[in-house]
Amino acid sequence: MILRGENLMISVNGSVLAASKSCSVDVDVELIKVSSPSGGAWEHSIAGRKSWKVTTNHLLLNIMNKYPMVSVFSRGWYVGGLSSINFQGITKTFYTRGIHVVRFYESDGNWYATSSSYDTLNDDGDITSFINDCTNGFAANDSDIIAICTVDAFVLNAEMRTAISTYLHVPAEQIPLCSLHGALSLIGSTASSASGICFAGIGQNISVHADAYYINNMIRTLDTPIKTMLQKVGQTFTLQLMLDGYGSDTLHGSAICKSAKITATKSNLLQGSFAWEGTGPLT
C-alpha cells in the first residue's frame, strides 16, 4: 500500500495544524569517532546522542469567519467608485465627500441601519457635530455596531480622534490625523469591552478595507493569525506525529518553536511555516 503525504498529521499541544500543505520530520544522531585496535587505517564511530526536528508548512486560517462580519471599504478619491459598509445583508454606499457613519441595530430579530454624514473638509460646523455625535455614541446601544467610511477628502483632527477612541473603543494609534485626501475604514462599539479596529491611509490614490466580527452581541476582533503565529517562537510545545489509519504509529515529544515564517505573494494564499527543534526524546 502506498501512503499519501496527507496521511501524516502533526498536532501541537493537542490541536492538529489545520490547512497543512507539507511537513517533514528529521531524526539525527551524533557520531563519535573512536579508534579500533584492529582497524587503525579506517575511521570508526559509535552512536552518540539523538536529535530531532520538524518543519511544517500550512495556510493561515481565519477562524472567525463563522461569525457575522461587518465590512467597511473606503476610497481616497472620487473617481473609480464608491465607499461602502456591509453587515447582515445590509449595504450602505456613499459617493459624497466626507466622513460617513452607519449605526447597525437589531430589533425583534431583524437588523436595521441609520446613517449620518459629515463634510469636515468644508466644516461649517460638521467637525463640531461629529465630535458631539461621537461623544453621544451616535445614539447607539452597547449591542449596536458603529461603522465609519470616508470618501475623497476630509478633516480628522486630534479632538475627533480622541472622541472616536474614547467612545467607540478604537485604539488611538490606529487613527491618523488627516486634513485632505485619505481613506479611513473604522468599526467600533460603545460597549466598554468592545475591540474596535481602524485601517487608514493618507493620499489621493488610497483605498482601505476593514473587517470585524460580531460575537455575543458585541464587535470583536479576536482573531490575530499573524500575531498568534509569530509569538509562538521561543515557546515549548508538545508535538505529536500521527499516521492516519495506523493507530499504533504515533510519536510525541517536546519541541521548541525555533522559527516562524509568513510568506505573502500577490494573487496567492497567505502561507506560514514553523521550524520545531526537539528537546528530549521523540518516543
Which pLDDT tens digit goes with each residue over 148-166?
999 999 999 999 999 999 9
Q: How far apart are CA 211 and CA 187, in angstroms?
A: 8
Write out the three cell numbers for 272: 506560514
The CATH code of the domain that includes 269 is 2.30.300.10
Same domain, residue pair 77 and 213: yes
Grid cell 495506523 in the structure block, residue:
246
What value does the mean pLDDT take over residues 135-159? 95
Q: Which of 12-26, 114-128, 224-238 shows the lowest mean pLDDT across its residues?
A: 12-26
Q: Is residue 52 part of a domain?
A: yes
Same domain, residue pair 25 and 55: yes
263: left (phi over 0), alpha (psi -120 to 50) or beta: beta
Number of domains in the chain: 2
Same domain, residue pair 205 and 233: no
For residue 261, give the nearest of 63, 58, 61, 64 by alpha carbon. Answer: 58
Q: Is residue 235 part of a domain?
A: yes
pLDDT at 50 over 70: yes
Percent of the chain at pLDDT exceeding 90? 62
pLDDT at 81 over 70: no
Same domain, residue pair 120 and 198: yes
Q: How confident is the model at residue 18 (pLDDT cuts 50, 70, 90)?
A: low
Range of the domain at 79: 69-220
Burial of 191 from C-beta contacts in 10 A (0-12 / 13-18 / 19+):
buried
Average pLDDT of the chain, as a whole number:
89
Same domain, residue pair 86 and 215: yes
What value does the mean pLDDT take over residues 115-137? 95
Half-sphere exposure of 143 (CA within 13 A, CB side): 8
What value does the mean pLDDT take over residues 122-142? 95
pLDDT at 221 over 70: no
Q: How confident is the model at residue 280 (pLDDT cuts 50, 70, 90)?
A: very high
Half-sphere exposure of 76 (CA within 13 A, CB side): 19
What value does the mean pLDDT take over residues 40-51? 90
Alpha helices by DSSP H, the chain: 126-135, 158-168, 225-230
Q: Which of 152-161, 204-213, 273-282 shows the lowest mean pLDDT across its residues?
A: 204-213
Q: How confident is the model at residue 222 (pLDDT cuts 50, 70, 90)?
A: low
Strand residues in 157-268 grouped as ranges (E)? 182-188, 197-202, 207-215, 218-220, 236-243, 246-263
pLDDT of residue 149: 97
What value does the mean pLDDT take over residues 39-51? 89
